[in-house]
Structure 1
Amino acid sequence: MIRLENISKQNGNQILFIEASATLQKGEKVGLVGPNGAGKTTLFRMITGEEEPDEGRVSVDRGVTIGYFNQDVGEMTGRSAVAEVMNGAGPVSEVAAELRELEAAMADPDQADNMDAIIERYGEVQGRFEELGGYALEGRAREVLAGLSFSEAMVDGDVGALSGGWKMRVALARILLMRPDAMLLDEPSNHLDIESLIWLEEFLKGYEGALLMTSHDREFMNRIVSKVVEIDGGTLTSYSGDYEFYEQQRALNEKQQQAQFERQQAMLAKEIKFIERFKARASHAAQVQSRVKKLEKIDKIEPPRRRQSIAFEFQPAPRSGDDVVSLKDVHKAYGDRSIYEGLTFQVRRKERWCVMGINGAGKSTLLKLVAGTAEPDKGTVVQGGSVKMGYFAQHAMDLLDGDRSIFETLEDAFPQAGQGSLRTLAGCFGFSGDDIEKKCRFLSGGEKARLVMAKMLYDPPNFLVLDEPTNHLDLATKEMLIAALSQYEGSMLFVSHDRRFLAALSNRVLELTPDGIHQYGGGYTEYVARTGHEAPGLHS
């Protein structure tokens, strides 16, 4: 269906692909993986024809429709969300636009003289709209938007009033409604809450076309794909199986390659030793010559390319008292909207609470109340003795000084620390070499999140309050963070839509629902087993 044949591609000085090949067959669901900057987005752009390979060719079977979702959603304004979604659904969207114009003309008194012609044309266009399944299309568009957690008011409201994250969902809905023969999805799981994520998972499982996607959500990828294509060092390698299988297979391949490399190195060392020893002796000249020739012909085995993954180790956090934070009879409202009416909740030492609840249930509000960036309207929030809090929120990334480099930002925060230990810290969070001289204003969302996290964890608090800490983080950084936080001795209160993060780190669950607030002993895995659902908005 889609074939990449011996493609080579260079961006500036960076070589992305060298004679790389891969295929996407009808109905296949493929995960595209590789380190940041390896060329995943370039690959998508070559398939859609937005970029050309320098050598080789990309071929798409005739008549194959492609839907491409990426993070750059462009301008959206002046239409409702549902109209914007339908607008991307191919020919039917043009017919729908003409229908709307004719409806406006029929209601316009200035057009009274042309009314017969307008009504006649309206009949024709309406017939065509029905033929194309237009009326069913609006229902489907609303269904997709509801699946992505849009409220009715948002569905019919001006798309221009939505935040960037919600506009991204509109762009995603457009591709899903289109149901093309092949979908290319670049990070569709970013900006989604857990309910939308699980809905999208089910949608993609039922989608009959071919799918090629990237995602930083390991669980999401694992449940959808049955093949993985890895970009590494300019080559494309295909693995049949889910993400978990790919990881195991890759580790096995690396181990085998390392063993072959070591065996060959030992054999080469032996040969070289023989040549060095006897090269001056005339009696061994023929043997030496034959061995030199043999060495020249040998195909050298490369050692496996090691992915740079540095483990981050916590300094021990100072011990807090047993009561970390207590909320008593807390009331909180925004305007007419009441979020909490009499919330009583306590975090004790070493507890790791994950907070579950649908959009608008008050998850971030709870974290703000605990962190002291919001005040309760009534009731008390009391921090315990010797508590040193670290609060990670999305807005923390906006507080970085754009004129300071990554390294200067860390130096400002820790003037007593040595250069070596700050460089190690930066390396753990994915900033190596010249990266650390980058000014904060040029950092991506993911880089900013990593820098804020590094600042917070270097001199660790004993109570971490984290609001979506894994947003923007790639798989490798996420794994590093999970491994580091597993060793962390302090207490935690956090919100995350990443199920692997939730399962690995929580030992308590606070569930916010319209029927009330429920507390569960045991972590996220036990919560799923006890309630039968993965998130509060998905009662089965």
Structure 2
Amino acid sequence: MIRVENVSKQNSHRLLFIEASATLQKQEKVGLVGPNGAGKTTLFRLLNKEEQPDEGQIAVERGITIGYFSQDVGEMAGRSAVAEVMDGAGPVSLVAADLRELEAAMTDPERADDLDRILDRYGEVQARYEELDGYSLEGRAREVLAGLGFSQEMMDSDVGVLSGGWKMRVALARILLMRPDVMLLDEPSNHLDLESLIWLEQFLKGYDGALLMTSHDRAFMNRIINKVIEIDGGTLTTYSGDYEFYEQQRALNEKQQQAQYERQQAMLAKEIKFIERFKARASHAAQVQSRVKKLEKIDRVEPPRRRQTVAFEFQPAPRSGDDVVSLKNVHKRYGSRSIYEGFDFVVRRKERWCVMGVNGAGKSTLLKLVAEAAAPDEGTVALGSSVKMGYFAQHAMEVLEGDRTVFQFLEDSFPQAGQGSLRTLAGCFGFSGDDAEKKCRVLSGGEKARLVMAKMLYDPPNFLVLDEPTNHLDMATKEMLIEALSSYEGTMLFVSHDRHFLAALSNRVLELTPDGIHKYGGGYLEYVARTGHEAPGLRT
């Protein structure tokens, strides 16, 4: 369907692709992977004809429809969410627009003399609309929006009042409703909660077109894709299989290439040693010349390109008392909506509670109550003795001073720390090299989140309260965070939509449902095994 043929592309002074080639065939579901800045979004723009290659070509089969979801959704306002989604449904939305125009023309007194022609045209367009299943369009649009977490009220409200994250979901719903021959999805899992993520996973599994997607959620990607295209060092390398297979195969390839490189280096050293030893002897001149020519003809094996990964280790946190936080008879309402009524909950030292529940169940509210960012209407929330709490939420980024650089922010936070350790800390959270000199005001939302987390974890509290800590983290940073938190000896209470994060770090589950609040010993994997579903209200 789509062929990338010997494409080279340069942005500013950065060479992104060097004679890169790959294919996307019918019904293939492909994961596009590579380090940040490797050119994933540029490749999407090339495939969508928003940019042109400097050399080579992108060949697309005639008549193929392409739907592209990017993180830049543009302005949306003046229409309901459902109308916005229906407007992006491809050919059927154009036919629907024709119908609306003809319906207006039929009631226009100034066009009464032309009514017969308008009626004939209306019959033709209506037949085409029926052929495209247009009369079920609104129902299908609402079904997609519901799957992505919209209530009926939100579907019918002006999309302009929605937050950026919800507008992203509207833009994604437009592509899903369109069902093009090829979907290009750049980070579709961002801004989704666990329930919406699992719904999207099932939708994409059942989608019969070709799919090319990026995602920082490895579990999400692994369950959908059957092929991986890796961007690294300007080339595209294809692996058949899911993400897990790709990781294993890439590691094996690296190991084999390293062994081949080392064998060749040993052989070269031996030949060079012979040449150096005998080059001055006339009796060995022919042998020396023969070996020099042999070395000139050898194709040199390159060592494998190793992606730079930096490990992060916690400093030991001070020990807290055995009871870390206690909620007694807590009531909390927002307007007429009751979130908690007589809620009792205790978190004990070294417990790692993940909090699960559908949108509006009270997950973030619980974390705010514990962190004293919100007060209960009735009841008490009490921290235990010697508890040093670290609270991470998306609004935490507001504390960053705009004119300070990333590194200055860390220096201000830890004036006694050495520059080397702070540079290592910055590198762990994605601010290596020149990125550490960026001013805080130009950072993206994801970069701000990483910086706030870096500050919190450098001098670790003994009680971490984390609301969606993995939002915007790439896979490498997420893996580093999981590894670091695995050895953390404090207590955790957290909300996350990332199943890999949930499975790796939780040892207790608090499930908030309309039927009541349920507590499970054991972590997320035990919860799934016992309940038979991956999130409240969903069946596997």
Shift, 1:104, TM fit: 6.7
Over 3 Å counting, the alpha-carbon distance change for 1:207 and 1:510 in structure 2 is same
Contact 1:352 1:505 in 2 (8 A): yes
Cα separation, partners in 2 of 1:113 and 1:66, compared to 1, 3 Å = closer
In structure 2, C-alpha distance between the alignment counterparts of 1:128 and 1:259, rounded to whole Å: 63
* Aligned-pair CA distance for 1:48: 0.9
The 5-angstrom pairing of residues 82-481 of structure 1 reads 82-100=82-100, 117=115, 120=119, 125-481=125-481
Distance in 2 separating the partners of 1:156 and 1:283: 93
Q: Structure 1's 101 and 77: CA in aligned 2 closer, same or farther, altered over 3 A?
A: farther
Give the partner amino acid of 1:171: A
For 1:212 and 1:336, locate their aligned partners in 2 and report how far apart those are by CA, in whole Å.
Answer: 44
1:517 partner SS: strand
Give the AA of the match of 1:442: V
Q: Which deviates the most, 284-293 or 253-262?
A: 284-293
Whole-Å separation in 1 of the counterparts to 2:262 and 2:122: 76
Within 2, Cα distance between the matches of 1:76 and 1:454? 34
Q: Secondary structure at the match of 2:32?
A: strand
> Secondary structure at 1:367's aligned position in 2?
helix
Question: Take 2:188 and 2:305, find their aligned partners in 1: how far apart are those partners?
Answer: 29
Report the Cα distance in structure 2 between the residues aligned to 1:372 and 1:39, rounded to whole angstroms: 42
Look up the equivalent residue of 1:431 and give its one-letter code: F
Letter in 2 for 1:31: G
- 1-structure distance, mates of 2:243, 2:476: 14
Task: Give, in whole Å, the separation in 1 of the partners of 2:217 and 2:328.
Answer: 36
- Counterpart CA distance in 2 for 1:115 and 1:365 is 60
Aligned: 1:31 with 2:31? yes
In structure 1, distance between residues paired with 2:110 and 2:474: 62
Which SS does the other structure have where 1:456 is aligned? helix
| Structure 2 match to 1:77 | 77
Partner of 1:49, secondary structure, is coil
Q: Deviation per CA, 1:211-264, whole angstroms, max 9, x where unpaired?
A: 000000000000000100000001100001000000000001001111111111
SS in structure 2 of the partner of residue 295 of structure 1: helix
Q: What is the percent sequence identity of the aligned residues?
A: 84
Paired with 1:437 and 1:127, the residues of 2 have a C-alpha distance of: 61
Query: Counterpart of 2:8?
Result: 8
Q: CA deviation at 1:113?
A: 6.9
Aligned counterparts of 1:157 and 1:125: Cα–Cα separation in 2: 29
Structure 1, 262-271 or 217-226: larger mean CA deviation: 262-271
Shift of 1:115: 7.0
Shift, 1:285, TM fit: 1.4
Secondary structure of 1:185's match? strand
Q: What is the CA-CA distance between 1:95 and the residue it aligns to?
A: 3.1
Comparing 119-128 with 318-327, greater Cα deviation is found at 119-128
Q: Distance in 2 between matches of 1:495 and 1:236?
A: 36
Would the aligned equivalents of 1:446 and 1:474 in 2 still touch at CA under 8 Å? no
Per the normalisation by structure 1, the TM-score is: 0.97
CA contact (8 A) 2:81 2:170 kept: yes
- Whole-angstrom CA distance in 1 between matches of 2:425 and 2:360: 36
Residue 22 (structure 1) aligns with: 22
Letter in 2 for 1:478: K
Q: How far off its partner does 1:127 sit?
A: 4.3
- CA deviation after TM superposition for structure 1 residue 286, in Å: 1.4
**1:454-499 deviation digits (Å, cap 9, x = unpaired):** 1000010000000000000000000000000000000000000000
C-alpha distance 52-114 of structure 1, shift in aligned 2 (>3 A) = closer
Q: Look up the match of 1:485.
A: 485
Unaligned runs of 5+ in 1: none
SS in 2 for 1:274: helix
Q: What is the identity, as a one-letter code, of the residue corresponding to 1:525?
A: L
User: Does the residue aligned with 1:183 lie in a helix, a strand or coil?
Assistant: strand
Aligned with 2:360: secondary structure?
A: coil
Contact 1:16-1:233 within 8 A present in 2 as well: yes
Q: Post-superposition shift, 1:154? A: 0.9
Which residue in 2 is equivalent to 1:527? Answer: 527
**CA–CA distance in 2 between the matches of 1:407 and 1:4?**
40
Distance in 2 (alpha carbons) for counterparts of 1:228 and 1:87: 32
The answer to whether the 8 A contact 2:216-2:475 is kept is: yes
Q: CA deviation at 1:130?
A: 2.5
- For residue 139 of structure 2, give the secondary structure of its aligned residue in structure 1: helix
Deviation at 1:124, TM superposition (A): 5.9
Q: Secondary structure at the match of 1:519?
A: strand
What's the offset of the Cα at 1:445?
2.3
2:145–2:173 CA contact under 8 A, matched in 1: yes
Using the alignment, how far apart are the partners of 2:539 and 2:210 within structure 1? Answer: 30
Shift of 1:112: 6.0
Question: What amino acid sits opposite 1:501 in the alignment?
Answer: F
Q: What SS does the aligned partner of 1:488 have?
A: coil
CA distance in 2, matches of 1:197, 1:97: 32
Q: Which amino acid aligns with 1:267?
A: M
Q: For residues 214 and 198 of structure 2, what CA distance do their matches in structure 1 show?
A: 16
| Worse-superposed segment, 278-287 or 248-257 | 278-287
1:425 Cα deviation from its structure 2 partner = 1.0
Q: What amino acid does structure 2 have at the position aligned with 1:162?
A: L
Structure 2 CA distance for aligned equivalents of residues 373 and 138 of structure 1: 40
TM-score (norm 2): 0.97
What is the distance in 2 between the residues matched to 1:97 and 1:80?
Answer: 16
- 1:397 positional shift: 1.6
8 Å Cα contact 1:44-1:184 kept in structure 2: yes
**2:105–2:111: 8 Å Cα contact kept in structure 1?**
no
CA distances 1:64-120 after superposition (whole Å, capped 9, x unpaired)? 1111110111111111111111101123213323444566788x8xx5676794994
Determine the structure 2 residue equivalent to 1:59: 59
Query: Any idea what SS the aligned residue of 1:375 has?
Result: coil
